[in-house]
Amino acid sequence: MGGTPQDGGDVTMKFAPKGPTVIDTSSAPSPREGARPPTMADVAERVGVSRQLVGLVFRNAAGVGADTREKILEAARVLGYSPNTAARALRAGSTKYIGVIFDPAHSAPVEIIEWLYAFAHESGYRIVVSALTPIREESEAITEIVGHRCEALILIAPRSSPELLRRVAGQIPIVVIGRGIPNSEFDLVRSQGASGIDSVVTHLAGLGHTEITYVHGVDMLDGALRLSGYRSAVQRLALTEQIVEIRGDYTEECGATAARILLARAALPTAIVCNNDQAALGLSHTLAAAGVRIPADVSITGFDDSRVARLSFMNLTTVRQDPKEVGEAAIAAAIRRITGRGATGTEVFTSARLVVRGSTAVPAR
Amino acid sequence: MGGTPQDGGDVTMKFAPKGPTVIDTSSAPSPREGARPPTMADVAERVGVSRQLVGLVFRNAAGVGADTREKILEAARVLGYSPNTAARALRAGSTKYIGVIFDPAHSAPVEIIEWLYAFAHESGYRIVVSALTPIREESEAITEIVGHRCEALILIAPRSSPELLRRVAGQIPIVVIGRGIPNSEFDLVRSQGASGIDSVVTHLAGLGHTEITYVHGVDMLDGALRLSGYRSAVQRLALTEQIVEIRGDYTEECGATAARILLARAALPTAIVCNNDQAALGLSHTLAAAGVRIPADVSITGFDDSRVARLSFMNLTTVRQDPKEVGEAAIAAAIRRITGRGATGTEVFTSARLVVRGSTAVPAR
């Protein structure tokens, strides 16, 4: 498997939400059927404190003694009391919600989401996610999130026009992940796609490859950034540029189509650099079905280090776009905007690091 | 490619939410920077009607003339007014939210989600989704959804204990998708896993296969149901039972592990029935890398008809678990509970239909 060590359990603990988890698998009695839900007043009565004190504990406010705090949380657990976030948000004026819009069909966003949850909770914010689907448009998801009175909106690889995004940014602070849009209205967080692809090409050249083909998903957001990394590396290493351009889908089908194009030629290159991990899956599957051995005949690389790259049968050399780093930067940018400490658009480039696994080797020829 | 026709564009229209989409790509002016968000009163003033009338339009209430309605929606669009769903829900007493908890790492739930959105909107409800991730537990997601004051909770393939689910069901109506749990507290919606797998085995036997191996993901929810379909079909067709049991992961790695076990034997079966599409991907990738041709050497089948099955290089014969049918049944069950028209637990089995594609063929031997 090779690969890099995964984030350990300590990280899980560190970023676990600080608020109480009211429903758990322990032995809390279930509320009577048909009974009204327990209120803050019920918790206060059980502990023998004021309702206001219970409120302070659930707002994580300072000034409550540790003992009292523990008693209140325990009583809430036993009674099955859950703080009503919607009502609380309205009373407080600020909702403490951050909206996130993503497409679950892509594997990289899914891994970023978990860190958005973690870092938002750490800062006292809650996440409301809205999923894009083939029949559910981004503008619809944006309207929904605005309706939830979120204080900021994080868009992962949004496909809306820059004009629409600017207009929305007039209503609510926006952070865009994974797409470069020159602007001063919102913040950008994206990985160093150019240097990431450059490091992959450099790795392959170091193994002795001289015929290194790049699969360019033309319609992929940030596709141009990654392509530029290939171009600069090839130029620096005095290699010949070999680019297969694929329009439309830029994930599995993109890789499969590129494989068919390459198989139709007289000879395959000795190495193929893909625009992302999912494309590498489609490419390697199609090549393997045609009898091509990986990496004996052809070395293959991806980008993202998503779960696809770590599958045992892929064992893919790739570029790690650290979802934790991306999530942290996005939440930080959102909170800067919410708290008025950020006004003009910022751009954060997160790290993109080569991860060498078993899909690359010295060329046979 | 073969396969079945996809749902056409008319479906998109039919299930588009009925409420106004306030943010769109047309030329609405953006609100002034720093200005307060527009209110219902602003819309009322612009049109010259009462605030109550504007409220009626945004609640989709009957009795508002078409002309007036159009004017109000247009004014809302121009002003950038978005109905505040949270505040409205609190005033109305019922929130009209339905919570959905799912794991985006699995491909089948993602396709069900879009239909949950569609059917909920059609009935005047809104969806709040909460995503599970490796570090985010189901109980945490449940607490969050309860905090959003959802009126019902739909859990897709939940892994929590039946005891926890029963306890939660005492607080909020629950619908469970894709897992059979004998109970009277909540509703179940799952596909006919047994008859689905039976139809696949029958299809393979009809092609002339007699050595049909089943890959059983022991830890998959509803895994036992699918296995029972294999067993009954094999018995009816007087074939020999050949089961590869895989513990732990039941998706891509499950298929890859099964492939390695089968490759280590003296001979491969002529057909392999997988517990789901993702397992079929891992299996076929691993077999192809070992030089096995699909379907010339081995026929392979899946279950779900998720996007994995429809990838051109998979072109997988599978069982279609109709996500639209599942979504419709789940929303119907949730609303029955919310409106008090359902009291005891119901169980709906949705259709599971054989879809023949290119991964199955007559056996070579």
Per-residue pLDDT 10s for chain B (365 aa) are 333 333 332 222 223 333 322 222 233 333 333 345 567 788 888 888 877 777 777 766 666 777 888 888 788 777 766 665 545 444 455 788 999 998 877 767 778 988 999 899 899 998 888 888 766 778 888 888 887 788 999 999 898 888 888 888 888 899 999 988 887 788 999 999 999 999 999 999 999 999 999 999 999 988 999 999 999 999 999 999 999 999 999 999 999 999 999 999 999 999 999 999 999 999 999 999 999 999 999 999 999 999 899 999 999 999 998 899 999 999 999 999 888 776 667 889 999 999 999 999 999 86
Q: CB of A23 within 8 A of CB of A78? A: no
Q: Please, is A1 exposed, middle or buried when counting C-beta atoms within 10 Å of its C-beta (0-12, 13-18, 19+)? A: exposed
Closest CA to B128 of B109, B114, B148: B148
Closest CA–CA distance from residue A192 to any residue of chain B (Å): 25
Closest CA–CA distance from residue B272 to any residue of chain A (Å): 17
pLDDT digits (tens, 9 = 90+) for A153-193: 999 989 888 888 888 888 889 999 998 888 788 899 999 99
pLDDT at residue A92 above 80? no
pLDDT digits (tens, 9 = 90+) for A117-152: 989 989 999 888 888 876 677 888 888 888 778 899
Q: What is the mean pLDDT of chain A?
A: 83
The pLDDT assigned to A222 comes to 87
CB contact under 8 A, B286 and A313: yes
Q: Which two structure tokens, joined as six digits, stand for B106?
A: 């699995």
Cα distance between residue B169 and residue B186, in whole Å: 7
Closest CA to B121 of B325, B322, B342, B331: B331
The pLDDT assigned to B359 comes to 98
The pLDDT assigned to B278 comes to 96
CA angle A25, A31, A32 (to 5 degrees): 140
Q: Does A182 touch chain B (CB under 8 A)?
A: no
The pLDDT assigned to A182 comes to 80
CB contact under 8 A, B142 and A166: no
CB contact under 8 A, A313 and B256: yes
The pLDDT assigned to B177 comes to 94
The pLDDT assigned to B329 comes to 95
Closest CA–CA distance from residue B236 to any residue of chain A (Å): 34
Give just the sign of the alpha carbon dihedral B88, B90, B92, B95.
positive
Closest CA to B127 of A90, A282, A334, A148: A148
pLDDT: which is higher, B114 or A360:
A360
CB contact under 8 A, B288 and A285: yes
Report chain A residues whose CB lies below 8 A from the CB of B86: 86, 89-90, 95, 147-149
pLDDT: which is higher, B351 or A52:
B351
CB half-sphere exposure, A97, CA atoms < 13 A: 27
CB contact under 8 A, B30 and A167: yes
Query: Position B38: which residue type?
Result: P
The pLDDT assigned to A5 comes to 36
Average pLDDT of span A223-237:
97
The pLDDT assigned to B80 comes to 67
Q: B347 by DSSP, 3-state: which?
A: strand
Q: Which two structure tokens, joined as six digits, stand for A294?
A: 């990986």
Report chain B residues whose CB lies below 8 A from the CB of A143: 21-23, 82
Closest CA–CA distance from residue A237 to any residue of chain B (Å): 32
Full set of structural domains in chain B with CATH: 9-91 (1.10.260.40), 92-191+323-350 (3.40.50.2300), 193-322 (3.40.50.2300)
Q: Which two structure tokens, joined as six digits, stand for A214?
A: 């790049």
pLDDT at residue A240 above 80? yes
Q: Does ipTM come in above 0.90?
A: no
The pLDDT assigned to B23 comes to 28
Closest CA to B214 of B272, B257, B292: B272
pLDDT band at A9 (very low <50, low <70, confident <90, very high): very low
Q: Does A249 touch chain B (CB under 8 A)?
A: no
Kindly report the backbone phi and psi dihedral angles of residue A48, in degrees, each rounded to the nearest multiple of 5, phi listed first. 80, 35
- B83-108 in b/e burial notation, b at 16+ Cβ within 10 A? bbbbebbbeeeebbbbbbbbbbbbbb
The pLDDT assigned to B20 comes to 29
Cα distance between residue B122 and residue B90, in whole Å: 21
- B208-229 in b/e burial notation, b at 16+ Cβ within 10 A? ebebbbbbbbeebbbbebbbeb
Q: CB of B199 within 8 A of CB of B319? A: yes
Among A15-19, A271-275, B275-279, the minimum mean pLDDT is found in A15-19
pLDDT band at A237 (very low <50, low <70, confident <90, very high): very high
pLDDT digits (tens, 9 = 90+) for A306-359: 989 999 999 999 999 889 999 999 999 999 988 877 666 788 999 999 999 999
Cα distance between residue A27 and residue A15, in whole Å: 25
Q: Which two structure tokens, joined as six digits, stand for A258?
A: 């590129």
CB contact under 8 A, B82 and A143: yes
Q: CB of B27 within 8 A of CB of B39? A: no
Q: Give the orientation angle of helix A252-263 with respect to helix A277-289, to 10 degrees.
A: 40
Cα distance between residue A70 and residue A92, in whole Å: 24
The pLDDT assigned to B343 comes to 62
CB contact under 8 A, A113 and B133: yes
